[in-house]
Structure 1
Amino acid sequence: MAITINVNGTDRAVTSDPATPLLYVLRDELGLNGAKYGCGLGQCGACTVIVDGQAVLSCSMPALLIEGRRVTTLEGLGTAERPGPVQRAFIETQAAQCGFCIPGMMMRIEALFREKPDAGDGDVRNALEYNLCRCGTHMRILRAAKRADELMREAAAANGGKAS
């Protein structure tokens, strides 16, 4: 049974079993490897993607529940040549060490600032509560979030007040 999901602005027909976790559909069927398999239990956040504006754990979200919804993955934030504001912030602040948790962190920060452009440090900490980092780069990740906020505000101002 094929279902259609919109991934990074493009409708995609997928043929995986509807009970298959979204993470596997993204990685195995669509070749989008930004979301990482961490624990498979929805406890680490490495698999975080954005669905209809909300950060979700793709390892515990069946593909069937995504039909007709908009999914944004790390690949949808920008490219290596033109990184999005959150990606650029993580690069500039050198927030990653091993990098395994970083895609999930980026997605959660992206979702937060899209929903609440005036989010403060407490909001960022609360949003990242669901993402684990074993390397201990927490302070750099928080600096990256602050820098992402600045870059997103600059982009919105350059766009006439509209988020890009």
Structure 2
Amino acid sequence: MDVTLTVNGTPHVLEIDDPRVSLLDALRQRLDLTGTKKGCDHGQCGACTVIVNGRRINSCLTLAVMHEGDEITTIEGIGTPGDLAPLQQAFIRHDGFQCGYCTPGQIMSATAMLEELRQGWPSQVTGDLGSPALSDDEIRERMSGNLCRCSCYPNIVDAIREVAGKAAEGAA
């Protein structure tokens, strides 16, 4: 069966021989987009986080055939080596990675999380539903689906806080 996936703004027609192919495997094996990592393959680590139609998902938990016509963004779609996205730059500045395996998923999740925050989505620790403040607890809660085996969490939080602060300054 053929399925058309729009990945990073480009439509790709894939011949899927098994409808059980995960979105993660389609991205990595069929489109050679290896920035999205296979960690646990059970939706527990977040290394495979991508953004589909503006929402972050674990690509290991969904089938490629389910995303016909969806807009999929991977780490390759948010920055290039010569033109890094603000979160990518902040992760480097704040040393928000050690081994780097979780970093693409962390950055994709943080990208979507900042948009969720901008739209006023509450989390489990949001005190004021009218306008969630970006405390360290708020960041940690919103990023809790992404694990880092090297324990770079304080630096990841610092990188996210920096980018969120610059976005808030730009909006003011």
TM over 0.5: yes
Structure 2 vs 1, CA of residues 66 and 119 (structure 1 numbering), >3 Å: closer, same or farther? farther
Equivalent pair of 1:27/1:33 in contact (CA under 8 Å): yes
RMSD: 1.5
Question: How far, CA to CA, are the matches of 1:44 and 1:58 in structure 2?
Answer: 11
Which residue of 126, 138, 141 maps to 1:126?
141
| Aligned counterpart, 2:7 | 7
Counterparts in 2 of 1:1-164, with a 5 A limit?
1-16=1-16, 17-117=18-118, 120-121=134-135, 122-153=137-168, 157=170
1:148: Cα distance to partner?
A: 2.1
Counterpart of 1:65 in structure 2: which amino acid? M
TM-score of the pair, normalised by structure 1? 0.88
- Report the more deviating stretch, 121-130 or 56-65: 121-130
Deviations 1:51-90 (A, max 9, x none): 1111100111101111111111001111010001111111
Question: How far, CA to CA, are the matches of 1:66 and 1:132 in structure 2?
Answer: 25
Whichever of the two has the greater Rg, that structure is 2
1:6: Cα distance to partner?
A: 1.0
Question: How far, CA to CA, are the matches of 1:151 and 1:69 in structure 2?
Answer: 30
TM-score of the pair, normalised by structure 2? 0.84
Counterpart of 1:100 in structure 2: which amino acid? Y
- Report the more deviating stretch, 115-124 or 58-67: 115-124
Structure 2 vs 1, CA of residues 7 and 152 (structure 1 numbering), >3 Å: closer, same or farther? farther
Identity %: 41
| Aligned counterpart, 2:122 | none
The number of equivalent residue pairs is 156
Deviations 1:26-54 (A, max 9, x none): 01111111110101111111111011111
Consecutive unaligned residues in structure 1, runs of 5 or more: none
1:151: Cα distance to partner?
A: 4.2
| Structure 1 stretches of 4+ moved >6 Å | none
Look up the SS of the partner of 1:116 in the other structure: helix
1:15: Cα distance to partner?
A: 1.4
1:116: Cα distance to partner?
A: 2.0
